[in-house]
Structure 1
Amino acid sequence: MADKLRKTPAPPSAAQKALHKLGLVRDIDLALHLPLRYEDETRITPLRNARDGEVAQIEATVTASEVQLRPRRMLKVVVDDGTGTCELTFFSFYPSHQKTLAVGARLRIRGEVKGGFWGRQMLHPQFRVAGGELPAALTPVYPTTAGLAQPYLRRAVVSALQRADLSETLPPGLEPPVGRFMGKNGVQGAFSLREALTFLHHPAPDVALATLEDHSHPAWQRLKAEELLAQQLSQQQSRRARDRLRAPVLRARHGEAVPLHEQLLAVLPFGLTAAQRRVGEEIAADLGRPVPMHRLLQGDVGSGKTVVSALAACLAMDAGWQCALMAPTEILAGQHFAKMVGWLEPLLAARGRRVAWLAGGQKKKERAAMLALVESGEAALVVGTHAVIQEQVRFKNLALAIVDEQHRFGVAQRLELRRKLEAHGMEPHMLMMSATPIPRTLAMSYYADLDVSVIDELPPGRTPIVTRLIADSRKDEVIARIGAQVAAGRQVYWVCPLIEESEALDLSNATATHQELSEALPGVMVGLLHSRMPAAEKKAVMALFSAGQMGVLVSTTVIEVGVDVPNASLMVIEHAERFGLSQLHQLRGRVGRGAAASACVLLYATNDSGRVGETAKERLRAMQETNDGFEIARRDLEIRGPGEFLGARQSGDALLRFADLATDTHLLEWARATAPLMLDRHPQWAERHVARWLGGRSDYLKA
């Protein structure tokens, strides 16, 4: 009976659903949901003192109110506050509005004051019946979503601030250095977390708004410091947890005639650069320890990361273990496979082992054969796409996982690869590679639990690439240049941003461009490549281009990484203003791989006045000024911010909401120094701090 009387919980309201959609589930989530901007409702401004273009709050009496039907239906209201009059105009209104705005009503009105020929005016101002005390603090305006009104959100935040546990999680003596950065507005002393949040939700009216907008106010600094500390603590915890794990010790076994990596060095048609040798030694030292390596190998386009990864794979195979190499696209994985087979298959064959290939588009029979090779251990090296981490892939003894363009993989996929050695009670070594150089501050923050190796030297013989910015109104000249290049025996890439027309963005599509170039260049084989093509078709197109039979390849960004055709000497990127800087640099790196002088043409679309937007102009200018991938990455971070730079949507990284890596380096350095001290001396405080700031997202920082 008691069960029958017990009330079932009420279903969530539309507003509660909207809160959950914004990720506002816990009280602390609401407490940390900070205003976008503020409205000053703390004072009444006499109309005679209101400046043109200024948002002001007035208190006035309605002297006239009528609905006009021409030139369109609108409500016109005239108010007088004793110092002047103002006309209010409403294009959308309801009977209840007309009732409130009736002649004789005393109202409190807030809006932008404009001075015109007919006197002062406000368009669609906020209004309510006058009376009651004025607020003592600025009114917050929060980021919101459909179904979530500001008044409801404000009440929810106030209520959450009262309930949330905002007790200190920073032990005495480890406070952040925010006091030293307060000089300009004369505020001294440091905010506690509760004081900082209370202030930022309801700042005093005399605060300098600029310090709230640029997040330089001490209350903002306190929040940024806490957020950075949570991130560093999470990553330090991850590093310490990994240091407790075991991994295979990968050294050449005694009795081998010549170690595999030495055999590979002897057959390579080129010598290693000093940077490649240095990085190779760093990796070898890691692999020789019983602790899982977690290393990021950075190197600009064409710096020779693949050969370094092949040498690392040799160390694993020499020790009798398996190695996996995973790439985000079938084209890139295929390039790696071709190189590895060419370099290693003859050496492995002498030992009765081989290189296996796994990809999504494989025939069932071929796939079954490859899976058997992997499970038996005959496949010493397995190369492929995300197919490598699928459940049915059972390694005999995977010791080294190499992930190329690691930021293109989701966190869950990287974690899955690390679980492939669980049966042995160990974890494989991880080598992640990226041709998108990561600026130092970003590496300090997002890769705090990674060791970073950098190949900062290009192999000799790379041809400098000249970059040209050309408006798309001059496309005909570019096509004529292509004709001359092909006639001289060279090959050309033409990259389009979309596969087919989008109503939202007026961009050329690859299919139409392919047709246009085919008509403009009679006698030239023009190919088309995009991600929706069947794998066999893509492979056939790439084979024709690689063999030199195809003069022009029209492609989407599927060729961004890994495509290596030394005879290609011209890269045209259409709608270059739509691409990120690092992506443009990656695409440019597809040329300049042979002896011929190479060029990259950035075709940009202009607006009606013949101009391009400021941000786009900044990106394109950076491309023209430098070929240095690290300088480009630094500028890309400045322009786009860390979220976009890291590809947050697919990486799942718990990105920073408050701190800015471009301006808050001092706080990041404090957090990096404080995190290990806190874990050593105050582990319970550290746990509470991470739980408050990251909740369940801390796992994402560990992949």
Structure 2
Amino acid sequence: MPDAKPKTELQKALEKLGLRRDIDLALHLPLRYEDETRIVKLIDVRDSTPVQIEATVTHQEVTYRPRRQLIVTVDDGTDTCTLRFFSFYGSQQKALAVGNKVRVRGEVKGGFLGRTMLHPTFKAAGGDLPTALTPVYPTVAGLPQAYLRKAVLSGLARADLSDTFAPGDLEWLQHRSPQKGQKPLWTLRDALQFLHHPTPDVSIDTLMDHSHPAWQRLKAEELLAQQISQLQSRRERASLKAPQLQAEEGGTLHARLLAALPFGLTNAQQRVGEEIARDMARRIPMHRLLQGDVGAGKTVVAALAAAICMDAGWQCALMAPTEILAEQHFRKLLGWLEPLGITTAWLTGTQKAKERRAMLALIESGEAQLVVGTHAIIQDKVKFKNLALAIIDEQHRFGVAQRLALRNKLHHEDMEPHLLMMTATPIPRTLAMSYYADLDVSTLDELPPGRTPIVTKVVNDARRDEVIERIRAQISQGRQVYWVCPLIEESEALDLTNATQTHADLAEALQGATRADGQPVLIGLLHSRMHVDDKKAVMGAFTAGLMSVLVSTTVIEVGVDVPNASLMVIEHAERFGLSQLHQLRGRVGRGAAASACVLLYSTGDAPRLGEAARERLKAMAETNDGFEIARRDLEIRGPGEFLGARQSGEAMLRFADLATDTELLDWAKVEAPMLLDTYPHLAAKHVARWLGGKAEFLKA
């Protein structure tokens, strides 16, 4: 850091960006670049191009219509341009006084009133021009670019950037087609120096799409660090012990559960069940991800795995991210397992002290063979007698530290429990291969029979009345409806209709409507600020069919199963992520009735939706396939956000792109074991440089 004094606000802001070490600063790369290396004449400027000009101020005024603004006219001898500022200070007015010569940078737009720059940057004219492009870094509030540039520069000068590749192993990178006129081999130091301050003759496109050789070097380094870390994790796991949970033949809990289920298993469920059983029969801890689309039947597979564990005399824990989802699992598992003599404990953060104490005693004594709950399961006070299988549902919703805590719950002869993680957000193959190199992945790729396809319609909010008529029609046929809102309360930043207001509006609009049995329509409201008992009461009434419409925030995103619900309306659908929209849509189409999902969108004051929002809604309308949705989501959002990597506070891959850098990934997979086995000191240095304390998180 620039100073070794007590931490300033600026240094705290650097830490907020994760910039603690010199190498962190060196690897904090620009978002984009500004070209301040040349002055352009106004007469030569193309419309909508960012440029730098030097000109004399010929006019200045403050106008108040249609709003307060500072308008400055400048002339560079070839043409004039208007500078427009909606927020400004006296010092800026002084710097832009008539007669002053200024150097101005911004995007020039043509128009009816001539050329204009909106909020350009400016300084007094004169002085040498820089010889490299000016970097613009990702930042946070209170951290100006000028300070960040100095900090990065000093970190870059001090960081140890010596080679950590095996001697001679840079040859492979050297043979990758270098671009014309550029040196074929970049050291890490060369690559970073160049990317922080590229020369003006570089193709900006190769910098922005990360195809430049300097970027190739960085991506190779990053992928190698990730592969070494995951290989270490896999090897460590192979040296760990776990209880051997053998599925016995006939008369067992597993066999009795199978016989008691009111439906047959799909081929996919049978195949995945066998994969899990084989893993649990080994002495090495299972580390398996079970992925399947919404409604593919993951809970049944988890229950059968739990049965094998309990058959062998050990405890099993199932952890879900929300109380509603945990309770959904609890009721389902209770219905299947209680008649078979299994004692199940229920554990959440909102339990009364007396009930909680009773549950903790059941768990510690081992009397409770199955424990279902939220993150309350991983608290220190929860002591298992002999936990052998931990099941985590919607694993990407948990922070990595929480997943690690659950794995540390077995204090028995240096063993750790088998781990089964479940997700209804399918993960594209390339992503699974890289991020989950330390995980075995099982896929439920078929839905149980009898599911009705869901029709998805994208509808402008201006047609809300038509949607309400559709709701009225569904209710009159005895069906139920979800209406999902994105926020709980009014937000100044996003002026969205809150759930309470929507509930009131719908109650008014559906006044006098009746159900198929002639009863008046009840409309429920569910949001995360409600007391847990109130939530349960509302959810219970909707599940029982007493309530026709449920207005809700996204607390119903996963796990809610009401077969009679046939219509899902998602308000402000443009605000939701793609996988979240797909999860919400999966709450309908669970019974025999024809089901629909309406994506209500609003452009607000904008003339049209943003590009990413348009792509999301288009993908939803075009496919119901969770794997296709996942592939498109990855394209739109990128891997770090897709996997919930933010839960650990860090994006896992910052530079490499798994969709396009497959060649580099293949190289890193071959290189990692060689480096780890032959040059362990280089491998350790490489991982420390790139991952710091994050290596532990990649193991969860």
Pairwise CA distance, 1:144: 3.2
Between 39-48 and 472-481, the greater mean CA deviation after superposition: 39-48
Counterpart AA for 1:545: F
The whole-number CA distance in structure 1 between the counterparts of 2:315 and 2:305 is: 11
Q: Does 1:414 align with 2:403?
A: yes
**1:177-234 superposed Cα distances (whole Å, 9 cap, x missing partner):** 5556646655451211111011111212211111112221111121122112212222
**Aligned match of 2:573 in 568, 571, 576?**
576
Pairwise CA distance, 1:384: 1.2
Equivalent pair of 2:133/2:200 in contact (CA under 8 Å) = yes
Pairwise CA distance, 1:47: 6.1
In the TM superposition, 1:239-638 aligns within 5 A as: 239-252=234-247, 258-347=251-340, 349=341, 353-521=342-510, 522=512, 523-607=520-604, 611-638=608-635
The whole-number CA distance in structure 2 between the counterparts of 1:335 and 1:96 is: 60
Q: Does 1:127 align with 2:87?
A: no
Q: Percent identity?
A: 68
Pairwise CA distance, 1:120: 7.9
**Aligned match of 1:156 in 140, 146, 151?**
151
Report the 3-state secondary structure (helix = DSSP H, G, I; strand = E; otherwise coil) of the residue aligned with 1:126: strand
The whole-number CA distance in structure 2 between the counterparts of 1:652 and 1:14 is: 20
In the TM superposition, 1:155-174 aligns within 5 A as: 155-174=150-169
Structure 2's unaligned 5+ residue stretches are 513-519
Between 150-159 and 89-98, the greater mean CA deviation after superposition: 89-98
Partner of 1:222: 217
**Aligned match of 1:660 in 657, 660, 663?**
657
Report the 3-state secondary structure (helix = DSSP H, G, I; strand = E; otherwise coil) of the residue aligned with 1:424: coil
Pairwise CA distance, 1:36: 2.4
Between 48-57 and 213-222, the greater mean CA deviation after superposition: 48-57
Report the 3-state secondary structure (helix = DSSP H, G, I; strand = E; otherwise coil) of the residue aligned with 2:202: coil
Pairwise CA distance, 1:153: 3.0
In the TM superposition, 1:86-125 aligns within 5 A as: 92=88, 110=105, 124=120
**1:650-674 superposed Cα distances (whole Å, 9 cap, x missing partner):** 3545422222233323322322332
The whole-number CA distance in structure 2 between the counterparts of 1:483 and 1:120 is: 54
Counterpart AA for 2:609: V
Pairwise CA distance, 1:67: 6.1
Pairwise CA distance, 1:441: 2.0
**1:502-536 superposed Cα distances (whole Å, 9 cap, x missing partner):** 22223222222222222333311211222222222
Counterpart AA for 1:668: L
Counterpart AA for 2:391: I
Between 318-327 and 25-34, the greater mean CA deviation after superposition: 25-34
**1:421-460 superposed Cα distances (whole Å, 9 cap, x missing partner):** 1243210000000011011122123212111000111111
The whole-number CA distance in structure 2 between the counterparts of 1:135 and 1:496 is: 50
Pairwise CA distance, 1:112: 5.3
Report the 3-state secondary structure (helix = DSSP H, G, I; strand = E; otherwise coil) of the residue aligned with 2:537: helix
Report the 3-state secondary structure (helix = DSSP H, G, I; strand = E; otherwise coil) of the residue aligned with 1:553: strand
Equivalent pair of 1:86/1:122 in contact (CA under 8 Å) = no
**1:301-355 superposed Cα distances (whole Å, 9 cap, x missing partner):** 11111111111111111111110111111111111111211111222x2xxx512
Report the 3-state secondary structure (helix = DSSP H, G, I; strand = E; otherwise coil) of the residue aligned with 2:290: strand
Report the 3-state secondary structure (helix = DSSP H, G, I; strand = E; otherwise coil) of the residue aligned with 2:28: coil
Q: Does 1:30 align with 2:25?
A: yes
Equivalent pair of 1:177/1:667 in contact (CA under 8 Å) = no
Report the 3-state secondary structure (helix = DSSP H, G, I; strand = E; otherwise coil) of the residue aligned with 1:493: strand
Equivalent pair of 2:289/2:422 in contact (CA under 8 Å) = yes
> Structure 1 residues 141, 584: closer, same or farther in 2, change over 3 A?
closer
Pairwise CA distance, 1:251: 1.0
Counterpart AA for 2:509: A
**1:624-666 superposed Cα distances (whole Å, 9 cap, x missing partner):** 2111100011111111222332233335454222222333233
Equivalent pair of 2:485/2:498 in contact (CA under 8 Å) = yes
> Structure 1 residues 129, 283: closer, same or farther in 2, change over 3 A?
same
Q: Which has the larger Rg?
A: 1
**1:551-594 superposed Cα distances (whole Å, 9 cap, x missing partner):** 22221111111111112122121221211111111111111111
Partner of 1:201: 196
Q: Does 1:647 align with 2:644?
A: yes
Equivalent pair of 1:529/1:553 in contact (CA under 8 Å) = yes
The whole-number CA distance in structure 2 between the counterparts of 1:36 and 1:148 is: 15
Partner of 1:12: 7
Normalised to the residue count of structure 1, the TM-score between the two structures is: 0.90
Pairwise CA distance, 1:467: 1.5
Partner of 1:3: none
Pairwise CA distance, 1:690: 0.9
> Structure 1 residues 701, 119: closer, same or farther in 2, change over 3 A?
closer
The whole-number CA distance in structure 1 between the counterparts of 2:614 and 2:357 is: 51
**1:231-284 superposed Cα distances (whole Å, 9 cap, x missing partner):** 22222211111111111011146xx86222111111111111111111111111
Counterpart AA for 2:126: A
The whole-number CA distance in structure 1 between the counterparts of 2:452 and 2:112 is: 65
Pairwise CA distance, 1:118: 10
The whole-number CA distance in structure 1 between the counterparts of 2:456 and 2:48 is: 45
Equivalent pair of 2:81/2:116 in contact (CA under 8 Å) = yes
**Aligned match of 2:682 in 682, 685, 690?**
685
Equivalent pair of 1:408/1:647 in contact (CA under 8 Å) = yes
The whole-number CA distance in structure 1 between the counterparts of 2:652 and 2:562 is: 37
Between 48-57 and 435-444, the greater mean CA deviation after superposition: 48-57
Counterpart AA for 2:625: D
The whole-number CA distance in structure 2 between the counterparts of 1:56 and 1:378 is: 73
Aligned-CA RMSD value: 3.0
Counterpart AA for 1:417: L
Between 290-299 and 673-682, the greater mean CA deviation after superposition: 673-682
Structure 1's unaligned 5+ residue stretches are 1-7
Counterpart AA for 2:446: E
Pairwise CA distance, 1:617: 2.2
Pairwise CA distance, 1:492: 1.6
Between 241-250 and 602-611, the greater mean CA deviation after superposition: 602-611
Counterpart AA for 1:524: V
Equivalent pair of 1:530/1:555 in contact (CA under 8 Å) = yes
> Structure 1 residues 144, 579: closer, same or farther in 2, change over 3 A?
closer
Report the 3-state secondary structure (helix = DSSP H, G, I; strand = E; otherwise coil) of the residue aligned with 2:524: strand
The whole-number CA distance in structure 1 between the counterparts of 2:176 and 2:610 is: 34
> Structure 1 residues 108, 601: closer, same or farther in 2, change over 3 A?
closer
The whole-number CA distance in structure 1 between the counterparts of 2:459 and 2:78 is: 56
